[in-house]
Structures are given as C-alpha cells and as structure tokens.
Structure 1
Amino acid sequence: MRLLLNIDVPDLAAAEAFYVAAFGLAPARRFGDAVVELTGAEAPVYLLRKAAGSEGAGGRLRDYGRHWTPLHCDVVVDDLDAALARAPAAGATCEGEVREAAWGRIVQLADPFGHGWCLLQFLGRGYDEIAT
C-alpha cells in the first residue's frame, strides 16, 4: 500500500511557499495550474487548488478558516525547537504549548489554510517507550 497526502488549498503559490518554508518539502511535479506535488516526506504531498466556497466532500462547501477534522498529520522532526521556529515564520499558528511525554515532545499548529498539524520529536525509543 502507498499513501498520498492531498491537501486542498485556495492559493497554490501561497501553499507551496508555506509547505516548503515550514516543513522543508520540495516542489517536484506540476499538473497544470491546479496541482503541485511536494516531496521530502515519506509520502508525497499534493496541493490541490480548490476555491473557497466550492463543493467538497459530502456536498459541504470548502471553508479555509480553522476547522477541526478527526484526521490530522504529524510532522516528525529531529529538533522540535528549530521546527517550531520555522513553521510560524512561514505562516503557521501555534495552538498551545509544547507538551512532553515519555515518548517525546509535541506541539499543535494550524497552517494558513485551516488544516491542523502537529510537530513531533521522538525521544529515547519513541513510541516504543509506551508500547505494550
């Protein structure tokens, strides 16, 4: 199985600039003027230009204000402090303080398009510290 991450955004150029600056992804391919593929993660990221107010899943209209979804993405980094400096400088909003657990450190963010993200730094054995 392969995973692809598709992210709807209202402004393709702004989204590309954000994901390159915040997470260190790199543009790879373009599919016309509505899709750009970003690489540098374990799964490719596809930014899909979709206008605010256009019809999305379940007939709902797209809204790029901060929204909640039961699915979010974690960006695993080697240095949380450095990543936390980069992401807000690129336009992310921090949504709380850095939290520490037996497995590592985590902080919640929102990108400029309303999507939730977590920056995650594993420490020690990572999730193996708490695996049963």
Structure 2
Amino acid sequence: MDIISLIKLRKYDDYVYRAVIYDDLFLTKKAIKTMESAVRNEKFNKKEIASGYIFLGTLYSKIKDYGKASDCYHQGLELSIDEKFFYSSNLKKAIETFVKNKDIEKARFWLDNLLQRQSYDRKFKRLSILKTKLE
C-alpha cells in the first residue's frame, strides 16, 4: 500500500487529485485505474463523469494508446453534448487524438460542435486552426 492510496475517495475531486499525483509520479497506469473507477461511480453527476472521460483520454494519449484515448474523449464529449462547458486545451488534444487514430469523421463532427460553442465562449475559436488538418 502506497501513501497516495491513503487519500480517501469520496468526491469526484478526490479521484482526480489521486490520479494527478500518480501521473505526476510517472505512474500513469495507476492514474488510469483511478479515473476508470471514477467514471464507473454512479454517485457522480454526468458532468463529472464526462470530465473523467476527457481526463482518461489525456492519460491514454500520454501512453500512446490512441484507440482508447479516442474512445474516452468521444464518450466524454457525448455525455456533455447538450451541456454548456467552457474551453479547455484538452479539447484540442481530443481532436488531435481523433486525427492520430484516423477517426476523421469523429474529429470533424466534434470540431464543428466545439466551434459552435464560440457563441458563449470565444476561446473555442482557438480550435479553428485544426480545420486545416481535416481538409
């Protein structure tokens, strides 16, 4: 038992905190296991689970498992398709991961969806540079 596992996992933020520590210590696979537990936890709301999938996508990208990363990003975005959320650089990573995994249709769909969100957050415009990668 390591010292990190002493962090009680009650709230969603506890899972994220533990996963970030594992990842910072280059224990990415343990971070992935922690976040996989979080997204399966039924007491968390849809927004938290969606965020967990986006974080999982980032973690899987770090270990170059672009297939799983792409699936996680897609699940996270699907869960929050009707939700209002703000720009994060992880969204750019999601589109780039779809391209790396040759999921061009997903990349186009989500890029268009995210660019439409400029109506309430101008930072989404930063993603428009990715349009050239999809032509």
TM-score bucket of the superposed structures, by smaller chain? under 0.3
When normalised by structure 1's length, the TM-score is 0.26
More helix by share: 2
- More RCO (CA 8 Å, sep 6+): 1
When normalised by structure 2's length, the TM-score is 0.25
